[in-house]
Chain A
């Protein structure tokens, strides 16, 4: 690590030996994980396995006690704050849909667009054709074109989840962290969401945390199972779900 200008790894995201404890509780314990560029990874694990804490570490909300977190091979994420990390190109969808409820669907996407985020830039902002075209495109992808002028707070739960995914798309990050995208969705919506994520994965690196095993199976990607803040098993969905330890702590017999 003494030569910082050369890539330490080819991975998009590289976590090595990460530890975090809250008041003596080891939320993350010697966690190591790599995500290759263009990859989509599903993260599963029981409640309290450290899935959300891991996302907090990657996005700068929580600082690890020790360990390495590298983005794009060169950037040490542990030294940066949320805003800087977002600017670098890591987008995040929260477990509980977090959209700007008192603003319209369209404005939510406008706020997410990856453009000048400075005070001066937004104060003197004037919409451009390219921006509105991008918003139109995202609205179509997340099937909310008809709802563009509705307040985000009036959307259904599933629509809010999609809007938040749409905000990620508008943000156009290199890496998307998606926390429980299908929680509270109907089967049809779950299926559509899987399609949507696969579509997004064509151009982006994605990490999905999800409990819904049908959904994870539908994604058909490499799965990592976390338990007590560390990696328990990694591999295809079939390999992981037939792992003795995974069955014991997570899937149940």
Chain B
């Protein structure tokens, strides 16, 4: 990324967004660690972990907005890439437990001992090294997206058909990961994590650092998305979204563009999942549930499709609402509320929160310019007769 690409991509909204995320990423961990517990301004550790989860969701939302908002690819299976990134991180964390597990086996994680594995499956090799796991966080979702996209986009599967097969993809993975003999802990998933890079995952300092890292990852993802959508490639993506066959007749290889942006988006979702797992302490197959992916699309719709900032905002707002409602007496009705929210946003705010705000802002700015012009014209009108005298 050249500096030129950065400066071109930052407008007012983006700058405010970055400033807010950076401030949160610095101030919240500091307040948690430095201020005495129970003081008014101290952010309790449970909140740091909860908000860290929201930040990871915001990265997932960004990745969805990049493909849906700018290229019209509605993936209803993006939770799969998020979960795969999460599993890659989970495998590393499992290997770090070592002989401290219930069964005390230095190589095999507890669930493998329990299921009578005699040795570590080959696909668990290397996950005891952080760098390898970190690489897999990017490669596994990226490779799946590349293969899936290569087949789907080349065959020109678009619109609702593509959405349906992305649902099928995440559902197939859900079923596979539920199986005990698949080698990823079956329905219990991976949990009981102890250390990450030698630091206790439960410790306040680690949680604060993970939160700050998540904010940093959100900033990086945002900058990458902005650089992509404000380049000429971004214009091509929008052209494909609005008139796909027209773009082909101009000589653009539509499937290559879709493949590029879909793979990039999947890698981003993988990073979000990898940061999510140490903060919530567990990864299990329910993360592949089709409903999760649909929920993530709703965040983007609520915040404002094709705005990036809106996607991140939508993820935080909807998840905050979810936390508030599911912890009270309204808990059984959350899914109804989510559905109602989606319908209301589609009907009343089709551009989402940020999209509507932007439209309003532009309109009032135009009005102000028009008013200034009008008053200037009126003044001219007053002075002119005088000059005639």
Contacts and interface: CB of A to CB of B under 8 A. Distances in A.
Interface of A: 59, 61, 81-83, 86-87, 91-92, 94, 98-103, 107, 110-112, 114, 117-119, 122-126, 167, 171
Contacts of A112: 250
B253 A83 contact: yes
B245 A87 contact: no
Nearest to A123: B233
Given A86-B249, A98-B243, A122-B232, A103 B238 contact: yes
Contacts of B4: 126
A100 B238 contact: yes
**Top 6 A-B pairs, shortest CB-CB distance:** A86-B251, A125-B232, A82-B248, A122-B233, A122-B232, A123-B233
Nearest to B246: A98
Interface string B58-96: 000000000000000000000000000000000000000
Interface of B: 2, 4, 228, 231-233, 235-236, 238-239, 242-243, 245-254, 256-257, 260
Contacts of A171: 250-251
Given A98-B243, A117-B253, A83 B231 contact: no
22 contacts: A61-B245, A82-B249, A83-B248, A83-B252, A83-B254, A87-B251, A94-B246, A98-B246, A100-B243, A103-B235, A103-B238, A103-B239, A103-B242, A110-B232, A110-B235, A111-B232, A118-B253, A119-B253, A123-B232, A124-B231, A167-B250, A171-B251
The listed residue with most A CB atoms (<10 A of its CB), out of B231, B251, B253, B256, is B251
A61 B248 CA distance: 10
B244 to A, nearest CB: 10
Given A110-B232, A119-B260, A123-B228, A86 B250 contact: yes
A61 B246 CA distance: 11
Given A86-B250, A111-B250, A126-B4, 16 more contacts: A83-B252, A83-B254, A86-B248, A86-B249, A94-B246, A99-B243, A100-B243, A101-B242, A111-B236, A111-B239, A112-B250, A114-B251, A122-B232, A123-B231, A123-B233, A167-B250
Contact of A125 (B233, B250, B251, B252): B233
B366 to A, nearest CB: 13
A226 to B, nearest CB: 21
B64 to A, nearest CB: 19
Contacts of A94: 246
A59 B254 CA distance: 16
Nearest to B240: A100
Contacts of B2: 124
A74 B232 CA distance: 33
A91 B232 contact: no
Contact of B257 (A86, A102, A119): A119
Contacts of A118: 253, 256
A100 B239 CA distance: 6
Contacts of B239: 100, 103, 111
The listed residue with most A CB atoms (<10 A of its CB), out of B232, B235, B249, B256, is B249
A122 to B, nearest CB: 4
A167 B239 CA distance: 13
A82 B257 CA distance: 15
A156 to B, nearest CB: 19
A100 B70 CA distance: 13
A84 B243 CA distance: 18
A204 to B, nearest CB: 16
B246 to A, nearest CB: 5
A49 B254 CA distance: 31
A102 B72 CA distance: 13
Nearest to A100: B239
Contacts of B251: 83, 86-87, 114, 117, 171
A100 B232 CA distance: 14
Nearest to A116: B232
Given A102-B242, A124-B231, A91 B249 contact: yes
Contacts of A101: 242
Given A86-B250, A103-B238, A112-B250, A119 B233 contact: yes
The listed residue with most B CB atoms (<10 A of its CB), out of A59, A82, A86, A103, is A82
Nearest to A89: B251
A124 B246 CA distance: 23
A125 B249 contact: no
